[in-house]
Structure 1
Amino acid sequence: MNEIFLTFELLPNEIFINIFKYLNTSDIFQSFYNLNFRFNTLIESLNNLHLTISEDNQYINIDLFSPYIHSLITIGDVNINLHHFKNLHRLILHYPTNKLLEQLDIDNLPYLEYLSIPDILFGMSFIYQKIFSNKFPNLKFCNLFGFETIETILNWTTQTLSLRILKIGLIDFYVYKAILYACPNLYYLQLKMFQSYLKLSYIQIHSNLKKLEIYSEIYDWQYNDQLIDIFLECVPNLEQLSIYRSISISKILDLIPDYNWLSSIITKRLPLLKYFILCLHIEYHLEFIEFITTETHRQLRKFFFNAHKNRYQSRLIIK
């Protein structure tokens, strides 16, 4: 009986591709690259290679494989040259340095489709300028949902036609309008809303936005409702609306009997709405601890569902 010996290199490409899924990119290149023509061709054909660089491993030799990286994550103070990542489609920057942010341009990132910078506290104006002036024509997803208040708009010269999903920080109605104009094909928008006393001007309709998430920490609910009404007037084709807001337990009991839970605003502004979620964060104080009861939560849900029933799916989340 003949014995058959199977060598590692005789395994089919599909097996190697599955093996590579369990290895990080640097290990793949250090272990398999330049073994032979077959492995080089196979590795270079992979279109989902990812790499995470932090302060602990930033000095690894990335010159060999950086042109093949599809997804890159940086964490903290890392000193890299984005120009080496010519095939980059997905970029996530946690606590980046200004030197790294300055490298964000089309010459370094011609294929960028996904950009996330979620941890910046300030100094992002020049990033907004690039995003909303079509400096990344392939960009489809952008997360800038940090803590900075966007108060001024530089010269956003051209529209960003490719952007579909945007998560942005604190904005007022003026910046909101500018973003809607700059991104006419936007499908999903997440924002933080802050109080503004700007004189409101002409409302321009955005027809393509279908999903909107609004985070608000404005405690004056009457004024907050007025702002929400104005924000919703711009997006009449909205199908999904989520609103996250806060209220003190000391005020919630007075609110229960008479508040219409935005139902009149939604009826007026959003005829195509299919889903509405209100996430209510109740702030508890020791002097009102006795009012925090299951019955209070039951009453809140009862009045909420009565306001929205039989028109669209609705959900109240109490935290």
Structure 2
Amino acid sequence: MINKFEILPNEIFHNIFSYLSWDEILVSFCSLNQRINSIIGSVFSIDEKGIIFNQPGLSYKTFSSILLPLILNSSFLLSNIKHIHFDGNNSISFELIYQDLFFNHNKQNVSFTNLKSLYITKCLLFKSLIEILSLLIEHQLNELTLTCNEDIYKTFGYEGGSSSTAKKEALDMFKQFLCQIFSEQCKLIYLTLDISHSDYDIHQCLKSPSHFRLNTISDGSQLYCVTLRCLKIHLDCACFLEDLIAHVPNLEQLSIHCECLERHSQFSSSNVRISIIPNGNWFNKVPKLEVFALKCSIHNDSQFLYLKWLLNNVNYVRKLEIKLHNKNVWGTDQTIWKSIVDSNFIRQYCLPDQIINLKYFYFYICVEHELLSNDLEKIINSFKIDPFFIDHQWTNVKCFYDEKRSYQHIFSLNNDTFQFSDSLVNYSSICNWLDNQHIGLFLDLSICTFLEQFDKLCPNITTVTIYPKRDLDESTMTMLLTIPFEMKQRNLHNQFRNVTKLRLGIIYSRVVQPFDELIELGEVHAKIFSRIISMTVQLKYISMEKLEWLLYITQDAFDDLRENALSTVRHAEFAISSCNFGHNDSIHIGKHLVPLLSTFMPNLQALSLWRPDDFPWTSIRPDFTRARYGLLRRKWQKTLLTSESITQHADLLESNLCQLFEQLKRLVYLKIYGKILRHKVEPYRLMAQNRFPNSQIDVDMSRFRLWI
């Protein structure tokens, strides 16, 4: 008797599909028969992760020629897909998706008729996207997550042209969209919004009725979003928070991340005091609010006053969570921070004056302080003997002191958010706990002991950042030379079994220093980094502050590097020094990029490069003698403005791209952050379109992106 695959019960199919990504399910099983199509539809209708466009490894060819037609021509898929996630880190399909995926030849009808949740990360806000989002939040979506790329506001100036008028029109459109979110023309229930690093005008948009694209009526009822229940928002200044409260009457949960708790830098301390209403309360505006969470940095006393004003406004909530930090306490306007953070401090500055319904209170505070050893016990005991904290059962508090950096950490233990072990403070190599899954480490003598216990101390950590030494003196070199020897003696391996992301230094800036001439320091770092990389088992992502570190690792410290340690890497980021300015060795460091990647990271799928200027990573500049460097540099800089030079650099970039994609067969996405003159944008775009005709290309003054 011959058994057919399709006779398997539905449960078996669901189990099989749980091991596959959404694109693998569609490519392998879609359209086999009606029953399997029905099972696939049910998977997408109940899977909250839904489909992830632009996931690592998804090529534009597969997307455009197979997946996109399959989705648009399958009514059962269009009707069953409820959750979509766009990741701007891994591709640039937005323009295509906006035009062809959401709208099916009719800008009034959305293709995904039952779409309820949309998750967009690191996006560039084009007008077409705003138009789509405006339609979706008014008619379909229950949930929206929107975080923008750091270049969002630069992009506004380029999409419709280079004029300031085009930028103003785009900014006004975004302001109107934000106003729509907090109006009757929005049906969202859950919203996660990041408008940090934005213009001050963006934060002021809710103040101006002109930005509300509504027909005004006498009672103003259209200026409310009555459906919104949960809001998580990342801000630069709190003025936007004050304004939005008036537009969300049914809000139940509010979580705020504010880089610094201030209304705007233009306000002085006196202005803040004058503008604050001491007995303010938001109960009449958001009476259903039950949860209020705030994460921010507080620098001075006036910001503490503002915090107190905020807390008094929400003194009726049932759950309050506060995360505060300040690592520089030295100013005359920081009197409050100079006091010991104990029960009195928490009661006076971190809680509302009047407690009405509060049942759950969680806090975490990190501040620079000078403490004695017996101060810790006094601080913890202050909560145990305080009648207020005893009555509310908030006495379970932990406090420890980082002697090396003079930081006091104090937090409540009745919340899973804070899972810090007090034993970690014994290791001076620990720089910070960025969250429960990310830890930063300094290179010092305690790092070996810490790494030996890493699995036990940090079982949930998946991302590790290593901060290297920046200076070179005799004591530093002695210490650094000891670390790789100690790591070898302790036989450290597989301690990073759960670590999938490794960051060596910080590179998220277009300011890239010239090639490291301190060869000795670089070689010592390489030996340490080789050992650390070899401790990983399933490394998927790696970033390095300098490309030459990878060169040192693979050449000078190759014996310390575990075989195939980097072969599992799928996404890599490197900073490469200028190919036009710097000494001769520095401008040619980029020539090692492709040979290194093809040899040690053959399975790479996405690559990000950080440049201080032009996009090509190899150089055509002639070598300069040190004696005449200044004169020759100025002459070379002038030649870069000529049409001949622009053509040469376009040809050079084309050669770089061809070599890269020929050598790395699995690479589908390249992103280069840099800085070029405006008149280079079009030649680079035309070159890329001619060389990669069936790809998605985005070229601007600050970035070059290619999805093939």
Normalised TM-score (structure 2): 0.31
CA-CA distance at 1:13 after TM superposition: 0.8
- 1:94 aligned onto 2:75: no
- 1:43 aligned onto 2:36: yes
SS of residue in 2 equivalent to 1:245:
strand
Flag the 1:74–1:209 CA change in 2: closer, same or farther, 3 A.
same
Check whether the contact 2:14–2:43 (CA below 8 A) recurs between aligned residues. Answer: no
Which residue identity lines up with residue 347 of structure 2 in the other structure? K
Return the alpha-carbon distance in structure 2 between the equivalents of residues 123 and 131 of structure 1: 10
Equivalent of 2:347 in 296, 302, 307:
302
SS of residue in 2 equivalent to 1:92:
strand
Aligned length: 263
Residue of structure 2 in register with 1:78 after alignment? 59
Return the alpha-carbon distance in structure 1 between the equivalents of residues 138 and 247 of structure 2: 25
Check whether the contact 1:280–1:317 (CA below 8 A) recurs between aligned residues. Answer: no
CA-CA distance at 1:266 after TM superposition: 2.5
Return the alpha-carbon distance in structure 2 between the equivalents of residues 135 and 175 of structure 1: 10
- 1:285 aligned onto 2:312: no
Equivalent of 1:207 in 209, 221, 226:
226
Return the alpha-carbon distance in structure 2 between the equivalents of residues 186 and 29 of structure 1: 29
Check whether the contact 1:115–1:143 (CA below 8 A) recurs between aligned residues. Answer: yes
Return the alpha-carbon distance in structure 2 between the equivalents of residues 190 and 29 of structure 1: 29
Return the alpha-carbon distance in structure 1 between the equivalents of residues 137 and 190 of structure 2: 20
Q: Which runs of 5+ in 1 are unaligned?
A: 51-69, 157-170, 219-223, 249-253
Equivalent of 2:102 in 95, 101, 105:
105
Check whether the contact 1:116–1:142 (CA below 8 A) recurs between aligned residues. Answer: yes
CA-CA distance at 1:239 after TM superposition: 1.9
Equivalences for 1:162-177 in 2 at 5 Å? Answer: 175-177=177-179
Return the alpha-carbon distance in structure 1 between the equivalents of residues 141 and 337 of structure 2: 46
SS of residue in 2 equivalent to 1:119:
strand
Residue of structure 2 in register with 1:244 after alignment? 257
Flag the 1:124–1:78 CA change in 2: closer, same or farther, 3 A.
farther
Which residue identity lines up with residue 83 of structure 1 in the other structure? P
CA-CA distance at 1:136 after TM superposition: 9.2
Residue of structure 1 in register with 2:17 after alignment? 21
Flag the 1:277–1:152 CA change in 2: closer, same or farther, 3 A.
farther
SS of residue in 1 equivalent to 2:122:
coil
Residue of structure 2 in register with 1:116 after alignment? 119
Check whether the contact 2:253–2:291 (CA below 8 A) recurs between aligned residues. Answer: yes
SS of residue in 2 equivalent to 1:264:
coil
Check whether the contact 1:106–1:135 (CA below 8 A) recurs between aligned residues. Answer: no
**More deviation in 86-95 or 293-302?**
293-302
- 1:180 aligned onto 2:182: yes
Residue of structure 2 in register with 1:273 after alignment? 289
Which residue identity lines up with residue 248 of structure 2 in the other structure? V
Equivalent of 1:217 in 236, 240, 244:
236
Flag the 1:308–1:275 CA change in 2: closer, same or farther, 3 A.
farther
CA-CA distance at 1:312 after TM superposition: 4.6
Q: Deviations over 1:265-286 (max 9, x none)?
A: 4245322222222223424137
CA-CA distance at 1:232 after TM superposition: 0.5
Check whether the contact 1:129–1:155 (CA below 8 A) recurs between aligned residues. Answer: no
Residue of structure 2 in register with 1:66 after alignment? none
Q: Which runs of 5+ in 2 are unaligned?
A: 45-49, 157-167, 211-219, 262-268, 298-324, 366-708
Cα RMSD between the aligned structures? 4.7
Flag the 1:40–1:271 CA change in 2: closer, same or farther, 3 A.
closer
CA-CA distance at 1:72 after TM superposition: 4.2
CA-CA distance at 1:118 after TM superposition: 0.5
- 1:129 aligned onto 2:145: no
Q: Deviations over 1:214-254 (max 9, x none)?
A: 32222xxxxx3x54222101222222222222448xxxxx9
Return the alpha-carbon distance in structure 2 between the equivalents of residues 214 and 146 of structure 1: 12
Flag the 1:229–1:18 CA change in 2: closer, same or farther, 3 A.
closer
Equivalences for 1:224-243 in 2 at 5 Å? Answer: 224=238, 226-243=239-256
Higher helix residue share: 2
SS of residue in 1 equivalent to 2:147:
strand
Q: Deviations over 1:130-151 (max 9, x none)?
A: 2213599544433322243597
Check whether the contact 2:102–2:112 (CA below 8 A) recurs between aligned residues. Answer: no
Normalised TM-score (structure 1): 0.61
Return the alpha-carbon distance in structure 2 between the equivalents of residues 135 and 235 of structure 1: 15
Which residue identity lines up with residue 290 of structure 2 in the other structure? K
Return the alpha-carbon distance in structure 1 between the equivalents of residues 178 and 286 of structure 2: 18
CA-CA distance at 1:129 after TM superposition: 0.9
Higher strand residue share: 1
Residue of structure 2 in register with 1:56 after alignment? none
Return the alpha-carbon distance in structure 2 between the equivalents of residues 27 and 227 of structure 1: 43
